[in-house]
Structure 1
Amino acid sequence: MSEIISVHSFRGGTGKSNVTSNLATIIARSGKRVGIIDTDIQSPGIHILFGLDEDRISYTLNDYLWGRCRIEEAAYDVSPVLRQKQRLFGKTGGIHLIPSSIKTGEISRILREGYDARLLNDGLRNLIDRLKLDYLFIDTHPGINEETLLSVIMSDVLVIILRPDSQDYQGTAVAVDVARKLEVPKMFVVVNKALPSADFKELRYRVQNAYNTTVAGILPVCEEMFRLGSSDIFCLRHPDHPWSHEVNVIAKQIVGSGSKLLI
């Protein structure tokens, strides 16, 4: 049975796409077929993490939404990035990525005209069926809008990313409240960019009590992440790093505690 996992944040700059790409990679490396769709159409970028160059992209999510292609024609197999450690790569696992357009004119058109959110709903269902996906990750647009609400409604799991600052705390409360009203089956909060010197136990307790929601993990700020500069998947480049191990912990909670995941 396929599952849809939306990764959301109330504000931009939380590291949402980075967390999404690493979670999807860890799950794919366990042998699962994983899809990622970049619905952050106004500021796309997750394709960069997988090394998907613009000259390789013939169709994007925008093209599907405007009737130029079928949804699967905008999906690109980025599984080779997983094969950096062949012994850990499952026989049937892989990642297909649907990027959004980075062309200024097409981003402007989305801002001006919007799109039919129901068409996106149909496309996601078709994509799961045609690519035989075990998991589909939706990298959402920050904030609360019609497209985000649709993604949340469709989701089996919602992962909300926040930074440990006052503005994120307040905005995340809104996102959590909306998710509860929409009756999302499973919801987790992930704290990203926490200072290594912080008391993680106290931080987890404070966030869990604030939202009455499970904190799946706390990811620290680290120099290696800044050095990488979104040029690669962190858990592949630094598999033994505490950040990578914490993402693995989060991934296990998403797919079920009995799953064996490797980084």
Structure 2
Amino acid sequence: MSQIVSVHSYRGGTGKSNTTANLAIAVASHGYRVGIVDTDIQSPGIHVLFGYAEETLSPCLNDYLWGHCKIEETAHDVTAVIAGDIPSRSRVYLVPSSVKAGEIARVLREGYDVGLLNDGFQDLIEALNLDYLFIDTHPGLNEETLLSITISDILVLILRPDHQDFQGTAVTVDVAQRLNVPQILMVVNKVPQTFDFDDLKKRVESIYGNPVGGILPHSDEMMILGSEGVFVQRYPDHPISQTIAKIARSILP
């Protein structure tokens, strides 16, 4: 049975796309077929982590939404980014969104059929025989985000140790609980090394009533990498990569 995992944050700048890419790779490395859809159509960016430039993004999610192709035709096989020996069944497919100014302006001006997006998720799962579909959502709460939350088997909420993040995330948790999302997993990102991680974990779990899958420290290596690659592949022994692996195991059966 395929699982839909939505990765969301109330505000931008939390490291949501980086976390999505790293988690997807970590899950796929266990022998699973994984898809990633960038539904942050207004400000897409996850494609950069997989080495894609504007001219190599075609076809993309926008082409499907405008009726130009089937959604599986927009899926790019990025399995090659997984380093080392992996099970033969492992696959990672990326459905990027367009970074062309005209395409983004069209979305902002005309919107798109959110129901078509939902149909596309199911078609993609069936066409590519996916075990997991990761949805990189748009920050905040809008129609697309509510759809992603509603159909999720697992909702991963990314927040920073920041008062505004704490308040906004509380709203998202409340919405997700009202929509009866089966599993909510909290991930705290960009945490200064001076923090007491155990105390922070207990505090977040107490506030939101949901488990903390992991606490990711602020990292100079992450800043230096600058989205030019997937972190868990470049720094497999780093504490961030080890925490990502732990979060991935909590998603797996």
Normalised-by-shorter TM-score class: over 0.9
Unpaired runs of at least 5, structure 2: none
Partner secondary structure for residue 138 of structure 2? coil
Matched, 1:8 2:8: yes
> Which residue number corresponds to residue 92 of structure 1?
89
Give the 5 Å matches for 1:75-90: 75-82=75-82, 84-85=83-84, 87=85, 89-90=86-87
Structure-1-length-normalised TM-score: 0.95
Matched, 1:102 2:99: yes
1:123 counterpart (102, 113, 120): 120
Give the 5 Å matches for 1:159-174: 159-174=156-171
The 1-side partners of 2:58 and 2:169 are apart by: 36
The 2-side partners of 1:54 and 1:23 are apart by: 24
> Which residue number corresponds to residue 228 of structure 2?
231
Partner secondary structure for residue 200 of structure 2? helix
> Which residue number corresponds to residue 240 of structure 1?
237
Partner secondary structure for residue 180 of structure 2? coil
Structure-2-length-normalised TM-score: 0.99
Give the 5 Å matches for 1:1-263: 1-82=1-82, 84-85=83-84, 87=85, 89-256=86-253
Partner AA of 1:167 in structure 2: Q
> Which residue number corresponds to residue 261 of structure 1?
none
The 2-side partners of 1:90 and 1:27 are apart by: 12
Identity %: 59
Partner secondary structure for residue 4 of structure 2? strand
Unpaired runs of at least 5, structure 1: 257-263
Q: 1:206: how far off?
A: 0.7
Q: Is the 1:52–1:78 Cα contact (8 Å) retained in structure 2?
A: no
Q: Is the 2:54–2:98 Cα contact (8 Å) retained in structure 1?
A: no
The 2-side partners of 1:206 and 1:58 are apart by: 44
Q: Is the 1:9–1:172 Cα contact (8 Å) retained in structure 2?
A: yes
Q: 1:53: how far off?
A: 2.8
Q: Deviations over 1:13-51 (max 9, x none)?
A: 000000000000011111110000000001101010011
| Root-mean-square deviation (Å) | 0.7
Partner secondary structure for residue 171 of structure 1? helix
Q: Is the 2:54–2:100 Cα contact (8 Å) retained in structure 1?
A: no
Partner secondary structure for residue 187 of structure 2? strand
Structure 1 residue ranges (4+ consecutive) displaced by more than 6 angstroms after TM superposition? none
Partner AA of 2:90 in structure 1: G
Count of aligned pairs between the two proteins: 253
Partner secondary structure for residue 102 of structure 1? coil
Q: Deviations over 1:121-175 (max 9, x none)?
A: 0000000000000000000000000100000111100000000000000000000
Q: 1:196: how far off?
A: 1.0
Partner AA of 1:153 in structure 2: T
The 2-side partners of 1:81 and 1:92 are apart by: 15
Partner AA of 2:7 in structure 1: V
Partner AA of 2:118 in structure 1: N
Partner secondary structure for residue 245 of structure 2? helix
Partner AA of 1:55 in structure 2: E
